[in-house]
Structure 1
């Protein structure tokens, strides 16, 4: 099993580009949250709006009765630990304890850091879900897979459970044949994948992880460029003050 990505506290977490924050706020506004957005750090401190956001995107990934609005720090922390255990794990990441404590304490910049990361994870999961074919339904109308919706997007398509074995390695339905050497069932030798599906899926996951890393690094670069611009402006201002205070001649 692959290790979970861990979101931790880092330096300059309170520095964000205005355009990046505006995009984040617009994204949050698309969700029908139960409480109005007034102060992001305080409103999201107990984790309940986070659970609501995930619930809107992946309804079966969150059970809202596990989360209750609260003001006590220990109960807020418990909500975030439940998110780690029951929700974030489905999307292959978890939030570090230090970051949880900072969010619960309403430290500036930390909830923005988390929500930007959560948005990337949800977008990736949504993309994966759209790539997967719809679940095959049985005769009584229930989907074949009983896995929660958020767990299905990372899976690889398997064989249909509805296949009924016939004689001589054949199955009922479309013309299928049994490959003698490996025992795999395929429709036609000419339709076999040139690249094994498992290899393809692994490479696709690697590319998605790299794209995600690139987006995070680009966001950090934007923040650093913004900081450099502010420092340059400060330096120019100080230089102008030095020039104004420099004497222009000698008094007699």
Structure 2
């Protein structure tokens, strides 16, 4: 569901400072003087996403604009072609607010963009790891017989509900007996293998939990940074108070 202005997280002064610092680390095509105005056409937002997720953005789709109509076109295209890939969208009232340079809205948008960038990069890393495991899989299958003790050990660690009975061998047992030749386990392979659909469900659960962990870890890091900034400010204020005392520092 598209995010509206009222649903966005309010930022305090320390959060704003951290967000500005994060943006300043990125080399953009034009200087940043007034964030409400400079980011109103969506071009710098596209450049920020491009910096971290190069394949998500084609910058030529977002020309610099002064007219409100072209600014809206840029934002609607960002919403459809970029933000949708990042699993969020902005409501029309948010888009019209940032295009109209409404104070305080673009900061909320950029905080959300930053969070979604972190999640997208984490998911891409997980996908690479899964792809690497899949590529390595065929090489191990050729050593199935020699790896049998390791397979048995891994199966012993699975819950009873996901274990499958071992195939019976010996006289009187058909060599091709399986799910379609007398087995009750419809759709299962008569082997020491977890059903594919169950494996995929577990992988999806793990990915969902990883995403939740990443969100919480990002919030913890930001809170720690905010505490650090507040400590610095408190020390600075205490030093100023001490300096203004007539008797000097005690």
Q: TM-score range by the shorter chain?
A: 0.5 to 0.7
1:5-16 to 2 correspondence within 5 Å? 5-10=1-6, 16=11
Asked if 1:174 is matched to 2:133, the reply is no
Against the structure 1 CA distance between its residues 28 and 174, is the aligned structure 2 distance closer, same or farther, given a 3 Å change threshold?
same
1:6-155 to 2 correspondence within 5 Å? 6-10=2-6, 16-133=11-128
Encode CA deviations 1:134-163: one digit per residue, 9 max, x unaligned. 697xxxxxxxxxxxxxxxxxxxx9966x98
Shift of residue 172, structure 1, vs aligned partner: 11
TM-score normalized by the length of structure 1 = 0.59
Structure 2 CA distance for aligned equivalents of residues 23 and 45 of structure 1? 20
Residue 225 of structure 1 corresponds to: none
TM-score normalized by the length of structure 2 = 0.60
Against the structure 1 CA distance between its residues 24 and 173, is the aligned structure 2 distance closer, same or farther, given a 3 Å change threshold?
same
Shift of residue 18, structure 1, vs aligned partner: 1.6
Against the structure 1 CA distance between its residues 179 and 84, is the aligned structure 2 distance closer, same or farther, given a 3 Å change threshold?
farther
Larger Rg: 2
Structure 2 CA distance for aligned equivalents of residues 61 and 81 of structure 1? 15
Unpaired runs of 5+ residues, structure 1, are 137-156, 164-170, 223-252
Asked if 1:198 is matched to 2:206, the reply is no
Shift of residue 96, structure 1, vs aligned partner: 0.4
Shift of residue 44, structure 1, vs aligned partner: 0.4
How many residues align? The count is: 183
- Runs of 4 or more above 6 Å deviation: 157-160, 176-179, 190-193
